[in-house]
Chains A and B, each alone.
Chain A
Amino acid sequence: EPEVTQTPSHQVTQMGQEVILRCVPISNHLYFYWYRQILGQKVEFLVSFYNNEISEKSEIFDDQFSVERPDGSNFTLKIRSTKLEDSAMYFCASSALAGGTDTQYFGPGTRLTVL
């Protein structure tokens, strides 16, 4: 069964450094998402992406964040200057469609630790 994959599984970085989290969505999917989960908190939406542009973003997704689909398979989340509060689990998701009951399939997540 096709799966969403994410790399790395764990990233440790120093405050102020840039990080890029990578995702490979399911191959025929068109809609891509990033969510994050701070330890012990709820999963929060960050951004959705379709047709090479952001379709929606949350208040969390400020100028420090950016997303890109650099080729036909990868979907990346970049944090330009990491802060301690960016430490969280970051989940990528994809769906074939956006409407209807179409399911968002989640990757296993990248645990980001900012020191």
Chain B
Amino acid sequence: AQTVTQSQPEMSVQEAETVTLSCTYDTSESDYYLFWYKQPPSRQMILVIRQEAYKQQNATENRFSVNFQKAAKSFSLKISDSQLGDAAMYFCAYRRLGGSNYKLTFGKGTLLTVNP
């Protein structure tokens, strides 16, 4: 079974600085998808960024980028120029490619605090 591990229960960053959230996963699959979701205090999860495992290029979305290391099974999220609105719980998630298994497998989350 696939597992996702987020080893940092909490992180903090100063406004305008950069922070990196860690995620590792375990799978025997060669093709899959990885996601970072943000869950602000309102509790609706929002997709931040996604990565296809077959792509070597790291995904970027404005101030958010990932460092995808397939061999190491590592998928970290970098937030540049942190803003107060970035404060949230961040979840790393895994999904298989293909078949009929479409569920997301989540890590436990990292609570990010942004200090003014």
Q: Which residues of A contact B (CB under 8 A)?
A: 31, 33, 35, 41-45, 48, 55-56, 58, 89, 91, 95, 98-99, 101, 103-109
Contact = CB atoms under 8 A, between A and B. Distances in A.
Contacts of B107: 42
B78 interface: no
B44 A107 contact: yes
A91 B91 CA distance: 14
Contacts of B42: 108
Contacts of A107: 44
A58 B1 CA distance: 12
Contact of A31 (B52, B101, B102): B102
Contacts of B33: 101
Dominant SS among interface residues on chain A:
strand
B43 A89 contact: yes
11 contacts: A43-B106, A45-B103, A56-B101, A89-B43, A98-B100, A99-B97, A105-B47, A106-B37, A106-B45, A107-B44, A109-B44
Contact of B102 (A43, A98, A106): A98
A37 B41 CA distance: 14
Contacts of B104: 35, 43, 45, 104
B43 A109 contact: yes
Contacts of A33: 102-103
A101 B105 contact: no
Nearest to A108: B44
Interface string B83-116: 0000000010000011011111111110000000
Contacts of B102: 31, 33, 48, 55-56, 95, 98-99
Contacts of B47: 103-105
Contacts of B43: 89, 108-109
Contact of A42 (B46, B98, B100, B108): B108
